[in-house]
């Protein structure tokens, strides 16, 4: 992964044009700062975390007409406000907004407010394996409705910036395939109210892991309901987690214990209340699980008795 930091407008324009597509940067904050952590998974997929002090840029119709790729930008505004424009459509974005736009057509990005941060998945449209009409419709409306699929894609993409540099070439191929699958699922799911599941086992596993994390504090969450929600059998659910050496119950329990540990360290919430807030059904079950995981009781941990 390349991590590049600059403090001049010219250097930033060069980095963006080299790692993404040629752009013309139009304005900058007086004290400009730009940082890009860029991860190239294969020749048709890259992930970038972009931080700037504020800028606006455009890809002109002339430049776009000479594009040598069919890349899309799937962009999450992590901490950004501004305007994205393409094909005479303008949308205002804010933290949490997700946009899809084509890099082989002209577009304009107004991120001129300070303290901008985006997470961008740049992917070849032809590599997604979904109908062009869906991609065209997604680009025409620019904004992607927020749902579980958008959350899963960008949670997975963010985590890859830590995981991917440690992967072998074969591992990188699977990470790229999974990211593409989640990107295609996000676009497909934005046009229907019914559940759309990834096509790969790794993509489905990432989706279920995200669901478990998101609903970890639901004390009544059952694995039968999780399997049903994702259109698979309970056996299939366990086989998916077997791929990564755990079970869905253990995955959920460890995430809940992590939440509980954070709550215990953060304040004076009663231990029994911590148990319920973290999704455990009763304090006794919570205390036993906590001791098995961390080697001390919740009270001992709060009192500084952890090893």
Is 181 within the bounds of a domain? yes
Has residue 21 got a pLDDT over 90?
A: no
Is 81 within the bounds of a domain? yes
**Across residues 215-239, what is the average pLDDT?**
94
Is 273 within the bounds of a domain? no
Q: What is the pLDDT of residue 29?
A: 66
Dihedral sign (CA 9, 11, 12, 16): positive
Q: What is the pLDDT of residue 306?
A: 47
Q: What is the pLDDT of residues 166-202, one digit of tens each?
A: 666 668 899 999 999 999 999 999 998 788 999 999 9
Give which of 124, 78, 81 is closest to 103, Cα–Cα: 124
Q: What is the pLDDT of residues 38-68, one digit of tens each?
A: 999 999 999 999 999 888 899 999 999 888 8
Say which CATH number the domain at 42 has.
2.60.120.10
- Report the share of the chain in percent with pLDDT over 70: 96
Q: What is the pLDDT of residue 307?
A: 38
Is 226 within the bounds of a domain? no
Is 38 within the bounds of a domain? yes
DSSP the chain: -EEEEE-SHHHHHHHHHHHS---EEEEE-SS--EEEEEEEEETTEEEEEEEES-EEEEE-HHHHHT-S--EEEEEEESS--EEEEETTEEEEE-TT-EEEEETTS-EEEEE-SSSEEEEEEEEEGGGS-S-HHHHHHHHHH-BPPPSHHHHHHHHHHHHHHHHGGG--HHHHHHHHHHHHHHHHHHHHHTT-SS----SSHHHHHHHHHHHHHHTTT-TT--HHHHHHHTT--HHHHHHHHHTTTS-HHHHHHHHHHHHHHHHHHHS---HHHHHHHTT-S-HHHHHHHHHHHHSS-HHHHHTT---
Greater confidence, 207 or 114?
A: 207
Q: What is the pLDDT of residue 303?
A: 80
Edge-first strand listing for the sheet containing 24-28: 24-28, 55-59, 107-111, 82-86, 89-93
Structure tokens at 11: 């250097």
The mean predicted confidence, pLDDT, of the chain is: 92
Instruction: Quote the number of domains for the chain.
Output: 1
Is 79 within the bounds of a domain? yes
Is 145 within the bounds of a domain? yes
Is 260 within the bounds of a domain? no
Q: Which residue range(s) make up the domain with 24?
A: 2-214
**Across residues 21-46, what is the average pLDDT?**
87
Separation between Cα atoms, residue 69 and residue 75, nearest integer Å: 18
Separation between Cα atoms, residue 202 and residue 175, nearest integer Å: 8
């Amino acid at each position: 992964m390349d991590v590049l930091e600059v403090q001049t407008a010219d250097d930033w324009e060069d980095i963006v044009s080299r790692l993404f597509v040629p752009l013309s940067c139009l304005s900058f904050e007086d004290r400009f700062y730009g940082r890009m952590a860029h991860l190239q998974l294969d020749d048709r997929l890259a992930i970038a975390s972009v931080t700037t002090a504020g800028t606006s840029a455009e890809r002109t119709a002339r430049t776009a007409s000479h594009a040598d790729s069919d890349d899309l930008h799937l962009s999450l505004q992590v901490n950004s406000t501004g305007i994205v424009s393409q094909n005479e459509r303008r949308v205002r974005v804010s933290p949490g907004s997700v946009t899809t736009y084509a890099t082989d057509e002209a577009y304009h990005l107004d991120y001129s407010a300070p303290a901008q941060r985006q997470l961008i998945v740049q992917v070849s449209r032809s590599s997604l394996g979904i109908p062009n009409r869906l991609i065209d419709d997604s680009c025409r409306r620019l904004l992607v409705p927020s749902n579980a699929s958008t959350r899963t894609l960008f949670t997975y993409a963010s985590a890859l910036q830590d995981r991917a540099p440690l992967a072998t070439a074969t591992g990188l191929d699977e990470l790229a395939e999974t990211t593409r699958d989640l990107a295609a699922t996000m676009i497909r799911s934005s046009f229907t109210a019914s559940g759309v599941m990834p096509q790969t086992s790794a993509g489905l596993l990432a989706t279920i892991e995200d669901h478990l994390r998101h609903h970890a504090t639901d004390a009544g969450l059952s694995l039968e309901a999780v399997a049903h929600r994702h259109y698979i059998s309970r056996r299939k659910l366990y086989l998916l987690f077997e791929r990564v050496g755990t079970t869905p119950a253990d995955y959920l329990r460890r995430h809940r214990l992590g939440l509980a540990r954070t709550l215990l360290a953060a304040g004076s919430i009663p231990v029994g209340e911590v148990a319920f807030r973290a999704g455990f059904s009763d304090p006794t079950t919570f205390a036993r699980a906590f001791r098995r995981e961390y080697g001390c009781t919740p009270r001992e941990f709060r009192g500084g008795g952890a090893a």
